[in-house]
Structure 1
C-alpha cells in the first residue's frame, strides 16, 4: 500500500482548515443572529426617542440579525450605573456631568459620541414674584436640582459667579418631574432644569430666568456611551447606532415641527409648539468624541471635587473613546 505524499497531507490540512473556518463562520453568524442590544434612555433622550418611535434601529439592526430592547431611567446617573454593571449595553445621551460621577464611582465606560454645546438648553428659574432678582439672592434659599445632572454643574458655576458656594444654598435633589412639582407648589425657591422641561415651565408657569449656561458658565454637551465589553465585542453595532443618531439629528434640524409632532405625545402630551421651541435650544449635532474636547469634562470634575461633592479627584482623560 502506498504512503500518502507530503503534498496530499498538505491538501488534507488545507481542506480541514477551510471546513473549520466555514463552520466557525456559520457558528458566529448564529450567535450574531441572537444578539440583542439593550439601550437605556431617559424621557428627554430626544434622538433615541425619535429612533425608537420610528422603529429605525429595529429595522437597520434587524438586517444585521440584531434585536433591540429599550429600558427607561429617571435620570442619567442610574442609567450609567446600569451600563457599568452590565444591565444595559448602550446609553442614550446624558449630561456631561454624569460620566464624571460614574468615573468617580469606578465605572469603566466608553465615550461613543457627543452633541455639540447647547448652553441655553438649561437654566435656573425662580417665581416671578419671589423677590429673587439676581444670583446672589439665592443665598440660604431652597433650590431643586437633579444630582449629577448638567444643571447641577450650571448651578455651581452660577453661584461661583455670584460669589457664593454650593454650601450657601439648601439643595433639594429631585428628578425633573419632582422638581417641577416642588417648584409649582412653592416648596422650593428656585429650580435648575433642562429642556424640554424648561420651556414647558416657561410657557405654563411664567418663571423668571436667573441664568442659563451662556457666557461660558456651562457648555452643556451631552454624551452617548457604551459598556467596554459591548464596544469591544460589537463595534459594528455601535457604528450603526452612531450613524443613525447622526442622521436623526440632521433630520430633526431639517424638520423641527414634524419632530415636535412625534415627540409631544411621547413627552406627556406636550404641546408641539413647546417641543419645537425647546428643541431649538439643543444643537443635536452628533459627532465623534475627540480627546482634546474633554477639557470641559475636566473642569466639571475639578469643580465638583472642590465643592466636596465628588469624593475623589477624576482624570477626565482616563477614559476609553470609541472610533469607527
Structure 2
C-alpha cells in the first residue's frame, strides 16, 4: 500500500508477498452469499475512481451483491479476507501466485512502461546504463523497479553484482538522493514522477528502454469467482468504466486523486496519470509469459526457486 503524507512519503514497507497477502487466504468468516469483499490501496487509481464515483456499488447491486471494503496492507486487521484483491504492479504476482494458488488473475491494466524508471544526479557523470557500474542504486527488492534495473544492466552486459544496490524504503530515497547517499534511484510512480521533478535529478531511462510492459494485475479468489462468475465480468466492466472516465476527465481525476493522496501536488498527479494508458482487458497467455520471464530473472538472482512454471497459473475469463 502507498500512504502519502505531506508532499510525498510512505510509511508502509513491502514486507514480502507472504506478509502482504497471506491474511487474504485465511479462514473465511460466515457471511451472506450476496456480500462481495474487495481490498484496495491508495495507489489503486481505478478502484479509487470507481469507488468515489459510486460505480461499484450501483453495478454490483444490479447483480445482487453488496460490496464490503478493506485496505490491502501489511496489517491483518486491515486486510481481512477478501474475494477480489487490490491491483498490484507487474512483478508482484511472481511472488504471490506460487504461495497462494487460490488466487487467479482476472484483469490486466496497461501497458504503462513510462510509469517507472531510473533517475540519477545531474552532476554524477552517469549518462548511460554502462555508467552504473560501481554506483549506489536505491531500489526495492523484488519489485517491478528491481526487474527494470536487472533488464537495464543486462542490456549493457552488467550484472547486479556490478552495482551497489541499496534496499531502503521508497520514502527514504528522496532524502538519500538529495544528500548524495545514493547515485541513482530505480523507482515507480508516483515516486518516479516526484523524483523526475527534483531539481538535481535527470532521467536515465524509463521502462520503454527495456521493452517492459509494466502492467497492473487484478486477482480474485478462484473458488468465489467460479461460484459467482457474473462478478468477474462485473468487476472487469467496472474497471473499464472507471478507466474510460479517467481518460475522458483527466483534470477531475487529478483533483480526486490529489485529495485521496493527502493533497499531493496536482502537477505530480497529472504526470502520474500521463504515464498510464488505463486500458483494461482480460488476462491472457502473454501475461503469463511476462510473469515467467520475471520469475526466471529473479531465479538467477536467487530470489525465487529455480524451475517454477508460472505459465500454468489459472486465468479467470
TM-score (norm 2): 0.81
Gaps of 5+ in 2: 1-30
Larger mean CA deviation between 86-95 and 147-156 belongs to: 86-95
User: Paired residue for 1:31?
Assistant: 32
Question: SS state of the match for residue 120, structure 1?
Answer: helix
Is residue 38–residue 86 contact of structure 2 (8 Å, CA) maintained in 1? no
- In 1, the alpha carbon distance for the partners of 2:173 and 2:51 equals 27
User: Paired residue for 1:58?
Assistant: 57
Question: SS state of the match for residue 284, structure 1?
Answer: coil
User: Paired residue for 2:269?
Assistant: 275
Question: SS state of the match for residue 321, structure 1?
Answer: coil
Output one character per residue of 1:225-255: Cα deviation in whole Å (capped at 9) or x when no partner: 1122332233223322211101111111111
Give the structure with the larger helix fraction.
1
Larger mean CA deviation between 235-244 and 173-182 belongs to: 173-182
1:65 deviates by 3.8
Is residue 108–residue 319 contact of structure 1 (8 Å, CA) maintained in 2? no
Is residue 176–residue 182 contact of structure 2 (8 Å, CA) maintained in 1? yes
1:295 deviates by 2.1
Is residue 32–residue 66 contact of structure 1 (8 Å, CA) maintained in 2? no
Question: SS state of the match for residue 214, structure 1?
Answer: helix
Is residue 142–residue 298 contact of structure 2 (8 Å, CA) maintained in 1? no
Q: 1:107–1:126: structure 2 CA closer, same or farther, 3 Å change rule?
A: farther
Output one character per residue of 1:50-108: Cα deviation in whole Å (capped at 9) or x when no partner: 1233333233324524132121437xxx99xx98xx73332222122111122344544
Question: 2:232 matched to 1:238?
Answer: yes
Output one character per residue of 1:202-222: Cα deviation in whole Å (capped at 9) or x when no partner: 224441111111144322111
Please, which of 141, 158, 171 is the counterpart of residue 147 of structure 1? 141
Is residue 57–residue 68 contact of structure 1 (8 Å, CA) maintained in 2? no
Is residue 89–residue 216 contact of structure 2 (8 Å, CA) maintained in 1? yes
1:36 deviates by 4.0
Q: 1:294–1:87: structure 2 CA closer, same or farther, 3 Å change rule?
A: same
User: Paired residue for 2:178?
Assistant: 184
Runs of 4 or more, structure 1, over 6 Å off, are: none
Aligned residue runs from structure 1 range 56-135, under 5 A: 56-63=55-62, 64-73=64-73, 87-105=81-99, 107-135=101-129
Is residue 104–residue 313 contact of structure 1 (8 Å, CA) maintained in 2? no
Is residue 40–residue 87 contact of structure 2 (8 Å, CA) maintained in 1? no
Output one character per residue of 1:252-301: Cα deviation in whole Å (capped at 9) or x when no partner: 11111111111112223222232122211111101011124432222211
User: Paired residue for 2:252?
Assistant: 258
TM-score (norm 1): 0.79
Q: 1:97–1:65: structure 2 CA closer, same or farther, 3 Å change rule?
A: closer
| Larger Rg computed on CA atoms | 1
Gaps of 5+ in 1: 1-29
1:149 deviates by 1.8
